[in-house]
Amino acid sequence: MSILRGFIGIAVIIGIAFLFSSNKKKINWRQVGIGLLIQLVFAFLILNDKLNEYIPVGQFFEFIGRIFTKVIGFTQEGTNFLFASFGGGEIESPLLNFAIIILPTVIFFSALTSLFYYWGILQKVVWAFAWIMKRLMKLSGAESLAAAGNIFLGQTEA
């Protein structure tokens, strides 16, 4: 039932996007289909336990997830070091969550992204994803670069 709910959710989102489209005739359904197919392939590779015995795709993403969890842990340790004096103070919970947990994480990942950009790692990864999208989905260079950049940086920074 949960798989069916996921497919219904995807259909509803595509339906809403179709309804609010200003030019319904110009929708390239091939691109939509290939984009969905890429997502389904990733989901199959990551979630299929029997396949992961032979091709460790799920283990790879778990490894990447552990790296990011460790990096977020570094952020927490740095935050604890900086704001340890606030621990016994009178800070309200929403402000505490924003100032002591969210904001340092955003600053840390911004610095980490800048470091990856300086080393040239980010450009290579974004270029690789853009190249794949350009070939599979027949996007223009600008479209694929913007989409690949949004994966790693978000719309504002990309």
Segment 64-88, tens digit of pLDDT: 889 888 888 887 777 777 666 555 5
H helix and E strand count, the chain: 8, 0
**Closest C-alpha to 57, from 70, 47, 46, 73:** 46
Spatial distance between the Cα atoms of 9 and 12, rounded to a whole number of angstroms: 5
Report yes or no on whether pTM surpasses 0.95. Answer: no
Check residue 86 and give its pLDDT.
59
pLDDT reading at 32 higher than 60: yes
Spatial distance between the Cα atoms of 28 and 39, rounded to a whole number of angstroms: 17
Min mean pLDDT across 15-29, 62-76, 100-114, 132-146 is at 100-114
Token duo for residue 104: 């340092």
Mean predicted confidence (pLDDT) in 106-130: 88
Positive or negative torsion for Cα 102, 89, 79, 70: negative
Spatial distance between the Cα atoms of 122 and 149, rounded to a whole number of angstroms: 9
Check residue 72 and give its pLDDT.
80
Check residue 3 and give its pLDDT.
79
- The domain limits of the chain are 1-47, 52-119, 120-158
